[in-house]
Each structure stands twice: as structure tokens, then as C-alpha cells.
């Protein structure tokens, strides 16, 4: 989590091996967990570690990098439990790796 700085550059195109940062904002009084699932080229997806929202306010992020080009997406999930087995899809962002 980072406290008070928002991402300064929003882009959907990244280079091979470049880190992709998918940011989010937590508001006061939120509980549960947030997790991300990353996809590239139609694969089955890779889960991030979940982050507890309890007592956190401000911006946070998940990150990933890919060794080859492709079309990708990151899905954000809100989850009552830390393993996100009960998570609900909150939103999706697409990206391209060149």
C-alpha cells in the first residue's frame, strides 16, 4: 500500500519484462480482502496474494511482468475470506505486452 500518491501515468501498453502495476483505492470502513487474477494470451490466470482492506485507507497495487508479448487482463476481486474462494469480481482492466 502507498499512502497519498496516486499513479501518475495510466497506460495499457507495456514492454516485455516491464512491470505492470494495477492500482486501486481503499476507502474507510471497508472490510474483507482484495485480490487480483492476471491473464495473458487466454491462459488460465495467476492469482496474486490477497491484501486485507481492514483498517487501510489510500492506494495500493498489484504487479506482474511477462517474458513474452500478448494481450492480457487483470481482474480485481472483493473477498470476505483471505483465500478469496468466495470472491466476487469487482472490475477488469485490459492491457497489451509488446
Whether 83 is in a domain gets the answer yes
- Do the Cβ atoms of 58 and 67 come closer than 8 Å? no
The 10s digit of each residue's pLDDT in 18-76 is: 999 998 888 888 889 999 999 999 999 999 999 999 888 888 899 999 999 999 999 99
β-pairing, 46-47 vs 51-52, is: unpaired
For residue 49, the enclosing domain spans 15-97
Domains of the chain: total: 1
CATH number of the domain within which 24 lies: 2.60.40.1930
Q: Does a structural domain hold residue 62?
A: yes
2 belongs to a structural domain:
no
The answer to the question of residue 5 being in a domain is no
Task: State the number of CA atoms in the 13 A half-sphere of 13 facing the CB.
Answer: 1
| pLDDT at residue 9 tops 70 | no
Say what the pLDDT of residue 1 is.
47
Q: Is residue 8 part of a domain?
A: no
pTM as predicted: 0.86
Q: Is 4 within the bounds of a domain? A: no
Amino acid at each position: 500500500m502507498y499512502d497519498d500518491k496516486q499513479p501518475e501515468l495510466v497506460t495499457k501498453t507495456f514492454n516485455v519484462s516491464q512491470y505492470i502495476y494495477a492500482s486501486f483505492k481503499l476507502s474507510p470502513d471497508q472490510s474483507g480482502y482484495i485480490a487480483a487474477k492476471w491473464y495473458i494470451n487466454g491462459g488460465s490466470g495467476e492469482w496474486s496474494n490477497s491484501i486485507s482492506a481492514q483498517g487501510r485507507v489510500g492506494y495500493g497495487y498489484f504487479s506482474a511482468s511477462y517474458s513474452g508479448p500478448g494481450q492480457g487482463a487483470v481482474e480485481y476481486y472483493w473477498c470476505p475470506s483471505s483465500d478469496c474462494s468466495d470472491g466476487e469480481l469487482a472490475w477488469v482492466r485490459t492491457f497489451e505486452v509488446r
